Amino acid sequence: MTERGLVVCWLVLLGFGIVSCERKEAGQSAPPGTPVILISIDTLRSDRLPAYGYNRVATPAIDRLRADTILFSHAFTQVPLTLPAHVSMLTGLYPPEHGVRDNAGYRLRSEGLPYLPLMLKEVGYRTGAAVSAFVLRATAGLDAGFDFYDDHLMIGAKTLLSDVQRDGHDTLAASRDWLQSVAGEPFFFFFHIYEPHAPHAPPEPFASRYESGYDGEVAAADAVIAALLEELKRLDVYDSAIIMLTSDHGEGLYDHGDYEHGLLLYRESLQVPLLLKLPFSDRGGTSVERAVGLIDVVPTVANLLDIDLTQELPGRSLLAGEDEGDPRPIYSETLFPRLHFGWSELFSVVDLPFHYIQGPDPELYRLDQDPGESRNILRDDRRALGRMRQHLEAYEQSFAPPSEEDAETRARLAALGYLGSTVGSDSGDLADPKSQLETVEELKVAFEAYAQGSYEQAAEAFQAVIDTQPQLIDAWEQLGHARMAMGQPQAALEAFEHAMELSGGSPPVAGAMASALLGLGSLEEAAQYAELAVDGHEQSRDVLAQIRIRQGNLDSAAPIVEEALARRGSRLGPLLTAAELRFSQNRFQEALDFTDELLAEFGDRTDWPSIRGVHYLRGSCFARLEELDKAAEAYAKETELFPTELDAFTSLAVVYTMQGNSQQARASLQRMVEANPTAVAHAKAVQTLRRIGQPAVANSVLQDALRRWPQDPALRDLG
* pLDDT of residue 381 exceeding 80: yes
Q: What is the pLDDT of residue 158?
A: 40
User: How many CB atoms are closer than 10 A to CB 433?
Assistant: 27
- Mean pLDDT along residues 113-132: 96
Pairing of strands 346-351, 330-334: antiparallel
Q: Please give the C-alpha separations between residue 259 and each of 256, 262, 474, 669, in angstroms, as whole numbers.
A: 8, 10, 18, 47
Q: Is the model more confident about 135 or about 272?
A: 272
Q: C-alpha dihedral over 699, 704, 709, 710, to 10 degrees?
A: 70
- Report pLDDT digits (tens) over 547-572: 999 999 999 899 888 877 776 555 67
* pLDDT of residue 198 exceeding 60: yes
Q: Please give the C-alpha separations between residue 55 and each of 47, 62, 132, 287, 469, in angstroms, as whole numbers.
A: 10, 14, 27, 19, 42
Q: Give the three-class secondary structure for 261.
A: coil
The answer to whether the beta carbons of residues 153 and 136 sit under 8 Å apart is no
User: How many CB atoms are closer than 10 A to CB 377?
Assistant: 16
User: How buried is 584 (Cβ within 10 angstroms: 0-12 exposed, 13-18 middle, 19+ buried)?
Assistant: middle
What whole-number distance in Å separates Cα of residue 514 and Cα of residue 528? 8
- Report pLDDT digits (tens) over 579-604: 999 999 999 999 999 999 888 877 76
What whole-number distance in Å separates Cα of residue 702 and Cα of residue 704? 5
The answer to whether the beta carbons of residues 42 and 247 sit under 8 Å apart is yes
- Mean pLDDT along residues 170-182: 95
What whole-number distance in Å separates Cα of residue 481 and Cα of residue 466? 15
What whole-number distance in Å separates Cα of residue 628 and Cα of residue 630? 5
Q: Is the model more confident about 715 or about 495?
A: 495
Which residues lie closer than 8 Å to 78 by C-beta, 6 or more apart?
84, 85, 88, 94, 95, 293, 294, 295, 330, 331, 332, 333
Query: Comparing 369-373, 450-454, 693-697, which segment has the lowest mean pLDDT?
Result: 450-454
What whole-number distance in Å separates Cα of residue 459 and Cα of residue 481? 9
Pairing of strands 36-41, 354-358: unpaired
- Mean pLDDT along residues 113-125: 96
What whole-number distance in Å separates Cα of residue 344 and Cα of residue 347? 10
Q: What are phi and psi of 349, to 5 degrees?
A: -145, 135
Tell me the one-letter amino acid at 137: R
The answer to whether the beta carbons of residues 677 and 665 sit under 8 Å apart is no
- Mean pLDDT along residues 263-281: 97
Q: What is the pLDDT of residue 570?
A: 56
* pLDDT of residue 234 exceeding 60: yes
User: How buried is 24 (Cβ within 10 angstroms: 0-12 exposed, 13-18 middle, 19+ buried)?
Assistant: middle
Q: Please give the C-alpha separations between residue 167 and each of 131, 174, 240, in angstroms, as whole numbers.
A: 10, 11, 28
E strand segments, 424-477 = none
- Mean pLDDT along residues 45-65: 97
- Report pLDDT digits (tens) over 86-101: 999 999 999 999 999 9
pLDDT band at 371 (very low <50, low <70, confident <90, very high): very high
Q: What is the pLDDT of residue 421?
A: 43
Which residues lie closer than 8 Å to 711 by C-beta, 6 or more apart?
none
Q: Where are the alpha helices (DSSP H) in 567-645?
A: 572-584, 588-602, 614-624, 628-641
- Mean pLDDT along residues 631-639: 95
Q: What is the pLDDT of residue 417?
A: 52
What whole-number distance in Å separates Cα of residue 354 and Cα of residue 14? 50
Q: Which sign, positive or negative, has the C-alpha torsion 529, 532, 536, 538? A: positive
User: How many CB atoms are closer than 10 A to CB 493?
Assistant: 21
Mean pLDDT of the chain: 87
Q: At the fourth CATH level, which superfamily is domain 3-322?
A: Alkaline Phosphatase, subunit A (3.40.720.10)
Q: Is the model more confident about 637 or about 409?
A: 637
Q: Give the three-class secondary structure for 469.
A: coil
- Mean pLDDT along residues 116-131: 96
Pairing of strands 271-272, 242-246: unpaired
* pLDDT of residue 157 exceeding 80: no
* pLDDT of residue 715 exceeding 70: yes
Which residues lie closer than 8 Å to 587 by C-beta, 6 or more apart?
none
* pLDDT of residue 9 exceeding 50: no
- Report pLDDT digits (tens) over 680-700: 999 999 999 999 999 999 999
What whole-number distance in Å separates Cα of residue 451 and Cα of residue 163? 8
* pLDDT of residue 7 exceeding 50: no
The domain segmentation of the chain, as residue ranges, is 3-322, 613-719
* Residue whose C-alpha is closest to residue 406's, from 534, 300, 521: 534
* Residue whose C-alpha is closest to residue 635's, from 626, 576, 623, 603: 623
613-719 carries CATH number 1.25.40.10:
yes
Q: Is 693 left (phi over 0), alpha (psi -120 to 50) or beta?
A: left
What whole-number distance in Å separates Cα of residue 291 and Cα of residue 185? 34
The model's pTM is: 0.78
